[in-house]
Amino acid sequence: MNNIQKKIWLLAVVVLVIMASIWMSLTFYNQKMQNQYNNILERYLVMNELTRTSQEMVTALNNYLLTPIAENLDSIDRSKNQIQKMKDEVANFKNAENELALTSYINLIDSLIETTDRSLVFHSEDGTESAMEALNEATFISNYISEMTLTIIDTELKTYDRFYRAIINQSEELNQLGIWMLLLITFLLLLYTYWFSLRITKPVEQLTQAASELSKGRFDLKIAVDSKDEIAFLAKMFEHMRNNINNLILEIQKKAQLENELQQSKLLLKESQLRSLQSQINPHFLFNTLNTVSKKAYLEGSEETSDLLVSVAGLLRYNLKHLDKTMTLYHEVNVLQQYINIQKARFTDRLTFHTEIDEGCLHIEIPGLTLQPIVENAMIYAVEPNEEGGVISFRVKDEGDRVIVEVEDDGPGMAEDKIQQIIDEEQEHDTMVGHASGIGLSNVVKRLRLFYGCENVIKIEAKIGNGTKVSIHILKKRGDDQDDKGITR
């Protein structure tokens, strides 16, 4: 029963079977009753007929004895044959209660025939007296037959009394059964029809509901139909479609996001490159010149100046070369050292720079020029404005699955909203003014995020007047490296 057509067929077949069985049983009973009635009636009719024919035969015999012509003889024979035939029929009516009477009856008929024959024989032998006597006898017997018929019919009535009453009772019972059956079937059919229509309409209703939800744009509701027919198939297909739409939407969203990110990283890169180009007015010339000046200073005995110049040249070269490349933490720390050397020459005692470096972590990959802007930022806000100078601590720590790089200063700190701006990468408030590489903190944050594909890569803790601590969390194992393609490209 898995589709609507089958259900309808089933209903029709059930109704048909019930009706057919009722019709058949009623017909069967009617037929049975009819047969019984016919039998009963036939008994009476045959016996009555027999009586009449026996009287006719006697009359015919009388006629023949009076006027012995062949015609009368024929009629005697005819009656005799008829009687013989009917006698056989009557013999079939025997039952336990009338067998004696019926046997006597049949014997009486035999006697009648014999007497008639005897009368005919006497007549042919010219024994008219004896023939008349036999006729008399035949008349008696014929009378006995009619009396006996009445007696037998009477006993029949008595014998069959119970039977007749049973027939009447049964037809009453049948009527009652018919009424009950009608009620029952009506009730059952109503129930079944109700259930049946529910089975068809309910899934349709559910499907309609689901369709209207879909049309309103709600793709998140599951379409469930409790049925096993075509509607269920429809619902399944519908559900499939919904899932597909959902998937497509998700895919489109993801693609759009990806596109967006790509665009951003491209813009960022362009910007960085532009800035670095702006600052490198013939950088090779500058670099060579710086090297020459350094050698010159060295030759003239000013070793300190020479070293400083080397540092500046190294920093310059690094900045030029490695802005868009992935570097190891080791290189970054080296560059940072050069930068600090330069700044030390500038600020002399005002700058105190502490380093705590876990050497084992230095192989970690990190986007180029990330540490320097952070330290530079600290320099600008914590050391430069302060006459007393400031302390900057730089730490590289191994913390299990990640490496933490911390830059801490004892400057005036940062306002909460400013931190938020940095975290939110809002460019207009960037602090690129005064940066050696021209790269602001926001840029670093953005690049770090893009590189690691993870939002909480940087953390800034600051209190007004109590220093700032910037920490970068680098996972040793990069979880999702599809995001950095945009950068390394």
How wide is the angle at C-alpha 327 spanned by C-alphas 326 and 328, nearest 5°?
A: 135
Three-class secondary structure assignment of the chain: CCCHHHHHHHHHHHHHHHHHHHHHHHHHHHHHHHHHHHHHHHHHHHHHHHHHHHHHHHHHHHHHHHCCCHHHHHHHHHHHHHHHHHHHHHHCCCCCCCHHHHHHHHHHHHHHHHHHHHHHHHHHCCCHHHHHHHHHHHHHHHHHHHHHHHHHHHHHHHHCHHHHHHHHHHHHHHHHHHHHHHHHHHHHHHHHHHHHHHHHHHHHHHHHHHHHHHHCCCCCCCCCCCCCCHHHHHHHHHHHHHHHHHHHHHHHHHHHHHHHHHHHHHHHHHHHHHHHHHHCCCHHHHHHHHHHHHHHHHHCCCHHHHHHHHHHHHHHHHHHHCCCCEEEHHHHHHHHHHHHHHHHHHHHHHEEEEEEECHHHCCCEEECCCHHHHHHHHHHHHHCCCCCCEEEEEEEEEECCEEEEEEEECCCCCCHHHHHHHHCCCHHHCCCCCCCCCCCHHHHHHHHHHHHCCCCCEEEEECCCCCEEEEEEEECCCCCCCCCHHHHC
Which residues are paired to 365 by β-bridges? 328
The least CB distance from residue 145 to another protein, in Å, is 9
Cβ closer to another protein: 23 or 187? 187
Cβ closer to another protein: 167 or 454? 167
Cβ closer to another protein: 8 or 100? 100
The least CB distance from residue 179 to another protein, in Å, is 8
The least CB distance from residue 127 to another protein, in Å, is 16
The least CB distance from residue 183 to another protein, in Å, is 6
Which residues form the interface with another protein (CB under 8 A)? Answer: 29, 36, 94-100, 103-105, 107-108, 110-112, 140-141, 144, 148, 159-160, 162-163, 166-167, 169-170, 173-174, 176-177, 180-181, 183-184, 187-188, 191
Cβ closer to another protein: 104 or 206? 104
The least CB distance from residue 173 to another protein, in Å, is 5
Q: Which of 424, 430, 398, 415 is nearest to 461 (CA)?
A: 415
The least CB distance from residue 59 to another protein, in Å, is 19
Cβ closer to another protein: 96 or 299? 96
Q: Which two tokens stand for residue 52?
A: 């009449």
The least CB distance from residue 23 to another protein, in Å, is 15
Cβ closer to another protein: 36 or 352? 36
Cβ closer to another protein: 177 or 293? 177
Contact criterion met (CB below 8 Å) for 405 and 416: no
Cβ closer to another protein: 110 or 425? 110
- Give just the sign of the alpha carbon dihedral 167, 169, 170, 171: positive
The least CB distance from residue 187 to another protein, in Å, is 6
The least CB distance from residue 57 to another protein, in Å, is 15
The least CB distance from residue 118 to another protein, in Å, is 10
Q: Which two tokens stand for residue 395?
A: 């730490």
The least CB distance from residue 55 to another protein, in Å, is 16
Cβ closer to another protein: 110 or 461? 110
Cβ closer to another protein: 119 or 319? 119
Cβ closer to another protein: 167 or 293? 167
